[in-house]
Amino acid sequence: MIKILYAGSPEESGVTLEGLVSLSGTDFEIAGVLTNPASAKKRSSTLIPTPVGLVAEKYKIPLFTPEHLDSDARKEIQRINADILVCFAYGHIFGPKFLSLFKYGGINLHPSALPTYRGCTPVNAAILNRDSSTAFTIQKVSLKMDEGNIIAQKTIDLNFSETAGSLLLHAAKEGITLFSDILKELNKNSFLPEGYVQSVDACYTKIILKSDAKINWNDSAEKIDAFVRAYYPEPCAWTLENEQKIQIFEGEPLSDSDAEGFSCDLKSEPGKVCAFVKQKGILIKCGTGFYAVKKLQRQGKNAMDYKSFMNGARNFVGTVLN
Protein backbone atom coordinates (compact mmCIF):
# COMPACT_ATOMS: atom_id res chain seq x y z
CA MET A 1 0.00 0.00 0.00
CA ILE A 2 1.22 3.48 -0.93
CA LYS A 3 1.54 5.95 1.95
CA ILE A 4 0.74 9.56 1.03
CA LEU A 5 1.61 12.94 2.45
CA TYR A 6 -1.12 15.23 1.15
CA ALA A 7 -0.29 18.94 0.85
CA GLY A 8 -2.82 21.73 0.34
CA SER A 9 -4.65 24.53 2.11
CA PRO A 10 -7.82 26.09 0.59
CA GLU A 11 -11.38 24.78 0.52
CA GLU A 12 -11.08 23.21 -2.93
CA SER A 13 -8.01 21.27 -1.86
CA GLY A 14 -10.01 20.02 1.11
CA VAL A 15 -12.58 18.60 -1.32
CA THR A 16 -9.84 16.63 -3.08
CA LEU A 17 -8.42 15.38 0.22
CA GLU A 18 -11.84 14.24 1.45
CA GLY A 19 -12.39 12.38 -1.81
CA LEU A 20 -9.04 10.61 -1.53
CA VAL A 21 -9.78 9.65 2.07
CA SER A 22 -13.04 8.04 0.92
CA LEU A 23 -11.15 5.98 -1.72
CA SER A 24 -8.22 4.99 0.48
CA GLY A 25 -7.70 1.61 2.08
CA THR A 26 -6.58 -0.94 -0.52
CA ASP A 27 -4.10 0.79 -2.80
CA PHE A 28 -3.17 3.88 -0.79
CA GLU A 29 -3.65 5.63 2.53
CA ILE A 30 -3.28 9.22 3.71
CA ALA A 31 -0.41 8.93 6.19
CA GLY A 32 -0.24 12.67 6.91
CA VAL A 33 -1.40 16.11 5.81
CA LEU A 34 0.73 19.21 5.26
CA THR A 35 -1.01 22.58 5.29
CA ASN A 36 -0.43 26.22 6.15
CA PRO A 37 -0.58 27.28 9.81
CA ALA A 38 -3.88 28.33 11.35
CA SER A 39 -4.54 32.05 10.99
CA ALA A 40 -6.91 34.72 12.26
CA LYS A 41 -9.76 35.83 10.00
CA LYS A 42 -10.67 39.50 9.57
CA ARG A 43 -11.03 41.18 12.99
CA SER A 44 -11.06 38.00 15.06
CA SER A 45 -8.00 36.99 17.07
CA THR A 46 -9.06 33.32 17.05
CA LEU A 47 -6.77 31.13 14.95
CA ILE A 48 -8.70 29.10 12.37
CA PRO A 49 -7.19 26.01 10.69
CA THR A 50 -7.13 25.87 6.91
CA PRO A 51 -9.97 23.91 5.25
CA VAL A 52 -7.49 21.13 4.53
CA GLY A 53 -6.44 21.16 8.17
CA LEU A 54 -10.08 20.78 9.22
CA VAL A 55 -10.47 17.70 6.99
CA ALA A 56 -7.33 16.17 8.54
CA GLU A 57 -8.70 16.81 12.02
CA LYS A 58 -12.07 15.31 11.04
CA TYR A 59 -10.44 12.03 10.02
CA LYS A 60 -7.75 12.13 12.72
CA ILE A 61 -4.92 12.18 10.17
CA PRO A 62 -1.51 13.36 11.44
CA LEU A 63 -1.30 17.07 10.63
CA PHE A 64 1.78 19.21 9.95
CA THR A 65 1.52 23.01 9.90
CA PRO A 66 5.06 24.40 9.81
CA GLU A 67 5.82 28.01 8.96
CA HIS A 68 8.77 26.79 6.90
CA LEU A 69 9.85 23.40 5.59
CA ASP A 70 13.10 23.57 7.53
CA SER A 71 15.11 20.73 9.05
CA ASP A 72 12.81 20.45 12.08
CA ALA A 73 9.74 20.21 9.87
CA ARG A 74 11.41 17.63 7.64
CA LYS A 75 12.33 15.47 10.65
CA GLU A 76 8.72 15.50 11.87
CA ILE A 77 7.35 14.61 8.43
CA GLN A 78 9.96 11.91 7.86
CA ARG A 79 8.53 9.96 10.81
CA ILE A 80 5.38 9.00 8.89
CA ASN A 81 7.55 7.38 6.18
CA ALA A 82 5.36 8.53 3.28
CA ASP A 83 6.13 7.11 -0.17
CA ILE A 84 4.86 10.05 -2.21
CA LEU A 85 3.83 13.68 -1.91
CA VAL A 86 0.38 14.49 -3.37
CA CYS A 87 -0.25 18.21 -3.70
CA PHE A 88 -3.05 20.56 -4.70
CA ALA A 89 -2.85 24.27 -3.86
CA TYR A 90 -0.34 24.20 -1.02
CA GLY A 91 1.12 27.50 -2.22
CA HIS A 92 4.85 26.85 -1.79
CA ILE A 93 7.66 25.49 -3.96
CA PHE A 94 9.32 22.38 -2.51
CA GLY A 95 13.09 22.16 -2.19
CA PRO A 96 15.33 19.16 -2.99
CA LYS A 97 15.85 18.18 0.66
CA PHE A 98 12.10 18.01 1.22
CA LEU A 99 11.38 16.06 -1.96
CA SER A 100 14.12 13.57 -1.08
CA LEU A 101 11.90 12.36 1.79
CA PHE A 102 9.64 10.56 -0.68
CA LYS A 103 10.57 7.37 -2.55
CA TYR A 104 8.47 8.37 -5.56
CA GLY A 105 8.86 12.13 -5.31
CA GLY A 106 5.70 14.17 -5.67
CA ILE A 107 2.72 14.78 -7.96
CA ASN A 108 0.72 17.97 -8.21
CA LEU A 109 -2.72 18.92 -9.57
CA HIS A 110 -2.59 22.12 -11.61
CA PRO A 111 -5.88 23.48 -13.01
CA SER A 112 -4.73 24.45 -16.50
CA ALA A 113 -3.60 22.92 -19.78
CA LEU A 114 0.09 23.09 -18.91
CA PRO A 115 2.39 24.54 -20.12
CA THR A 116 -0.29 27.22 -20.58
CA TYR A 117 -0.96 29.28 -17.43
CA ARG A 118 1.79 28.20 -15.08
CA GLY A 119 1.64 29.94 -11.73
CA CYS A 120 -0.91 30.67 -9.05
CA THR A 121 -3.96 32.02 -10.94
CA PRO A 122 -4.60 29.73 -13.93
CA VAL A 123 -8.39 29.49 -13.65
CA ASN A 124 -8.70 33.28 -13.45
CA ALA A 125 -6.58 33.63 -16.58
CA ALA A 126 -8.64 31.10 -18.56
CA ILE A 127 -11.87 32.94 -17.71
CA LEU A 128 -10.43 36.42 -18.28
CA ASN A 129 -9.18 35.37 -21.71
CA ARG A 130 -12.54 33.79 -22.52
CA ASP A 131 -10.92 30.50 -23.47
CA SER A 132 -13.25 27.89 -24.91
CA SER A 133 -11.48 25.08 -23.06
CA THR A 134 -8.96 24.38 -20.33
CA ALA A 135 -7.56 21.30 -18.62
CA PHE A 136 -6.66 19.78 -15.28
CA THR A 137 -3.11 18.45 -15.20
CA ILE A 138 -1.24 16.04 -12.95
CA GLN A 139 2.46 16.83 -13.16
CA LYS A 140 5.51 15.60 -11.31
CA VAL A 141 6.64 18.07 -8.67
CA SER A 142 9.78 19.82 -9.87
CA LEU A 143 12.17 22.32 -8.33
CA LYS A 144 10.80 25.05 -10.63
CA MET A 145 7.23 26.26 -10.66
CA ASP A 146 4.90 24.03 -12.70
CA GLU A 147 7.68 22.69 -14.95
CA GLY A 148 7.39 19.00 -14.04
CA ASN A 149 6.67 16.23 -16.54
CA ILE A 150 2.97 15.78 -17.31
CA ILE A 151 1.55 12.42 -16.20
CA ALA A 152 -2.15 13.00 -16.92
CA GLN A 153 -4.25 15.79 -18.38
CA LYS A 154 -8.03 16.05 -18.75
CA THR A 155 -9.39 18.68 -21.14
CA ILE A 156 -12.79 20.27 -20.45
CA ASP A 157 -14.95 22.69 -22.42
CA LEU A 158 -15.88 26.06 -20.94
CA ASN A 159 -19.36 27.50 -21.45
CA PHE A 160 -18.67 31.11 -20.38
CA SER A 161 -20.70 30.83 -17.19
CA GLU A 162 -17.88 29.55 -14.97
CA THR A 163 -16.52 31.56 -12.07
CA ALA A 164 -13.05 31.13 -10.63
CA GLY A 165 -14.67 29.40 -7.67
CA SER A 166 -16.76 26.96 -9.69
CA LEU A 167 -13.85 26.08 -11.99
CA LEU A 168 -11.53 25.40 -9.05
CA LEU A 169 -14.19 23.19 -7.49
CA HIS A 170 -14.50 21.31 -10.78
CA ALA A 171 -10.72 20.79 -10.76
CA ALA A 172 -10.85 19.57 -7.16
CA LYS A 173 -13.47 16.94 -7.97
CA GLU A 174 -11.74 15.76 -11.15
CA GLY A 175 -8.48 15.66 -9.22
CA ILE A 176 -9.84 12.92 -6.97
CA THR A 177 -10.12 10.53 -9.92
CA LEU A 178 -6.90 11.67 -11.60
CA PHE A 179 -4.89 11.21 -8.41
CA SER A 180 -6.50 7.91 -7.38
CA ASP A 181 -5.95 6.33 -10.82
CA ILE A 182 -2.25 7.21 -10.68
CA LEU A 183 -1.90 5.99 -7.09
CA LYS A 184 -3.58 2.68 -7.89
CA GLU A 185 -1.19 2.11 -10.79
CA LEU A 186 1.74 3.09 -8.57
CA ASN A 187 0.72 0.50 -5.98
CA LYS A 188 0.37 -2.11 -8.72
CA ASN A 189 3.57 -1.37 -10.64
CA SER A 190 5.84 0.22 -7.98
CA PHE A 191 6.87 3.08 -10.27
CA LEU A 192 5.48 6.37 -11.54
CA PRO A 193 5.16 6.92 -15.29
CA GLU A 194 7.91 9.18 -16.61
CA GLY A 195 5.31 11.40 -18.25
CA TYR A 196 6.19 13.79 -21.02
CA VAL A 197 8.28 16.93 -20.93
CA GLN A 198 6.37 20.18 -21.27
CA SER A 199 6.93 22.20 -24.42
CA VAL A 200 8.86 25.45 -24.32
CA ASP A 201 5.74 27.44 -25.25
CA ALA A 202 4.85 28.26 -21.67
CA CYS A 203 3.03 31.29 -20.29
CA TYR A 204 2.76 32.41 -16.70
CA THR A 205 0.02 33.90 -14.56
CA LYS A 206 0.53 36.55 -11.90
CA ILE A 207 -0.56 37.15 -8.34
CA ILE A 208 -3.90 38.99 -8.31
CA LEU A 209 -4.18 42.19 -6.29
CA LYS A 210 -7.42 43.80 -5.15
CA SER A 211 -6.59 46.76 -7.37
CA ASP A 212 -6.59 44.44 -10.40
CA ALA A 213 -10.31 43.76 -9.88
CA LYS A 214 -11.51 47.33 -10.59
CA ILE A 215 -13.97 47.30 -13.49
CA ASN A 216 -13.23 49.39 -16.56
CA TRP A 217 -16.65 50.31 -17.95
CA ASN A 218 -15.07 51.23 -21.30
CA ASP A 219 -14.59 47.51 -21.94
CA SER A 220 -17.22 45.49 -23.78
CA ALA A 221 -20.07 43.90 -21.84
CA GLU A 222 -18.69 40.43 -22.70
CA LYS A 223 -15.25 41.34 -21.36
CA ILE A 224 -16.74 42.78 -18.16
CA ASP A 225 -18.83 39.64 -17.67
CA ALA A 226 -15.66 37.52 -17.94
CA PHE A 227 -13.91 39.93 -15.57
CA VAL A 228 -16.62 39.58 -12.89
CA ARG A 229 -16.61 35.79 -13.16
CA ALA A 230 -12.81 35.57 -13.10
CA TYR A 231 -12.60 37.48 -9.83
CA TYR A 232 -15.42 35.68 -8.01
CA PRO A 233 -15.34 34.81 -5.16
CA GLU A 234 -11.98 36.53 -4.57
CA PRO A 235 -11.00 39.33 -4.69
CA CYS A 236 -14.36 40.31 -6.29
CA ALA A 237 -14.81 42.81 -9.09
CA TRP A 238 -15.56 46.33 -7.90
CA THR A 239 -16.41 49.83 -9.00
CA LEU A 240 -16.91 53.23 -7.38
CA GLU A 241 -20.08 55.22 -6.80
CA ASN A 242 -19.08 58.68 -5.60
CA GLU A 243 -15.82 57.20 -4.20
CA GLN A 244 -17.75 54.48 -2.36
CA LYS A 245 -16.85 50.91 -3.34
CA ILE A 246 -19.48 48.58 -4.73
CA GLN A 247 -18.59 44.94 -5.29
CA ILE A 248 -20.28 43.15 -8.18
CA PHE A 249 -20.66 39.40 -7.88
CA GLU A 250 -22.91 38.32 -10.72
CA GLY A 251 -24.51 39.55 -13.92
CA GLU A 252 -24.87 38.96 -17.64
CA PRO A 253 -23.90 40.84 -20.80
CA LEU A 254 -26.61 42.33 -23.04
CA SER A 255 -26.29 43.56 -26.60
CA ASP A 256 -27.36 47.07 -27.56
CA SER A 257 -30.44 45.68 -29.28
CA ASP A 258 -31.44 43.75 -26.15
CA ALA A 259 -30.99 46.80 -23.93
CA GLU A 260 -32.77 49.12 -26.35
CA GLY A 261 -35.93 47.12 -25.68
CA PHE A 262 -35.71 48.29 -22.07
CA SER A 263 -35.59 51.98 -23.06
CA CYS A 264 -31.84 52.31 -22.52
CA ASP A 265 -30.06 55.21 -24.20
CA LEU A 266 -27.39 53.66 -26.41
CA LYS A 267 -25.44 56.94 -26.35
CA SER A 268 -25.00 56.91 -22.57
CA GLU A 269 -21.44 57.18 -21.29
CA PRO A 270 -19.75 53.98 -20.09
CA GLY A 271 -20.46 53.33 -16.40
CA LYS A 272 -23.86 55.01 -16.38
CA VAL A 273 -26.62 53.12 -14.56
CA CYS A 274 -29.29 53.29 -17.25
CA ALA A 275 -32.19 51.21 -16.02
CA PHE A 276 -33.60 48.87 -13.42
CA VAL A 277 -35.35 46.00 -15.19
CA LYS A 278 -37.09 43.58 -12.83
CA GLN A 279 -36.69 40.57 -15.09
CA LYS A 280 -33.05 41.30 -16.02
CA GLY A 281 -31.11 43.35 -13.46
CA ILE A 282 -29.51 46.76 -13.08
CA LEU A 283 -28.37 47.77 -16.59
CA ILE A 284 -25.03 49.57 -16.82
CA LYS A 285 -23.64 50.98 -20.07
CA CYS A 286 -20.34 49.49 -21.22
CA GLY A 287 -17.97 50.41 -24.03
CA THR A 288 -20.15 48.19 -26.18
CA GLY A 289 -23.35 46.66 -24.90
CA PHE A 290 -24.74 46.69 -21.36
CA TYR A 291 -23.99 44.68 -18.26
CA ALA A 292 -27.02 43.53 -16.24
CA VAL A 293 -25.94 43.31 -12.60
CA LYS A 294 -27.75 40.64 -10.59
CA LYS A 295 -25.90 40.52 -7.26
CA LEU A 296 -23.85 43.26 -5.59
CA GLN A 297 -22.74 44.77 -2.30
CA ARG A 298 -22.18 48.32 -1.11
CA GLN A 299 -19.19 48.91 1.15
CA GLY A 300 -20.19 48.21 4.75
CA LYS A 301 -23.47 46.55 3.73
CA ASN A 302 -24.60 43.00 3.10
CA ALA A 303 -24.48 41.36 -0.33
CA MET A 304 -27.91 41.27 -1.97
CA ASP A 305 -29.74 40.57 -5.18
CA TYR A 306 -30.42 43.51 -7.49
CA LYS A 307 -34.11 43.82 -6.55
CA SER A 308 -33.34 44.09 -2.83
CA PHE A 309 -30.52 46.53 -3.59
CA MET A 310 -32.82 48.82 -5.57
CA ASN A 311 -35.39 48.87 -2.75
CA GLY A 312 -32.91 50.95 -0.78
CA ALA A 313 -31.30 52.79 -3.70
CA ARG A 314 -34.06 54.59 -5.55
CA ASN A 315 -31.65 57.21 -6.90
CA PHE A 316 -29.13 54.70 -8.21
CA VAL A 317 -30.41 54.89 -11.79
CA GLY A 318 -28.65 57.80 -13.49
CA THR A 319 -25.50 57.42 -11.40
CA VAL A 320 -22.20 57.15 -13.28
CA LEU A 321 -19.86 54.51 -11.88
CA ASN A 322 -16.11 54.70 -12.30
All structural domains of the chain with their residue ranges: 2-189, 210-311
Which fold is adopted by the domain 2-189? Rossmann fold (3.40.50)
Tell how many helices (H) and how many strands (E) occur in the chain. Answer: 9, 15
Query: Which residues, 6+ apart, have CB-to-CB distance to 188 below 8 Å?
Result: 27
Spell out the long-range contacts of 93-101 with Cβ–Cβ below 8 A and sequence spacing 24 or more: 93/143, 93/144, 93/145, 94/69, 94/141, 94/143, 95/69, 95/143, 96/143, 98/69, 98/74, 99/141, 99/143, 101/74, 101/77
Query: For the segment 145-180, what is each residue's pLDDT rounded down to a tens digit?
Result: 999 999 999 999 999 999 999 999 999 999 999 999
Cα angle for residues 50, 148, 131 (degrees, 5° grid): 75
**3-state SS class at 67:** coil
CATH superfamily, domain at 210-311 = Formyl transferase, C-terminal domain (3.10.25.10)
How confident is the model over 181-187, as a mean pLDDT? 97
Mean pLDDT for 90-104 is 96
Average pLDDT over residues 23-43: 92
d(CA 149, CA 166): 27
CA distance 303 to 311: 13
**H or E element that contains 34:** strand 28-34
CA dist., res. 167 & res. 135, Å (int): 10
Of the candidate ranges 40-44, 168-172, 190-194, the one whose mean pLDDT is the lowest: 40-44
Single pTM value for the model: 0.94
Classify the phi-psi angles of 162: left when phi > 0, otherwise alpha if psi is within -120 to 50, otherwise beta. Answer: beta
Q: pLDDT category, 27, cuts 50, 70, 90? A: very high
pLDDT value at residue 96:
97
pLDDT at 44 over 80: no
What 3-state DSSP class applies to 306? helix
DSSP-assigned letter for residue 61: -
Q: pLDDT (tens digit, 9 = 90+) per residue, 51-73?
A: 999 999 999 999 999 999 999 99
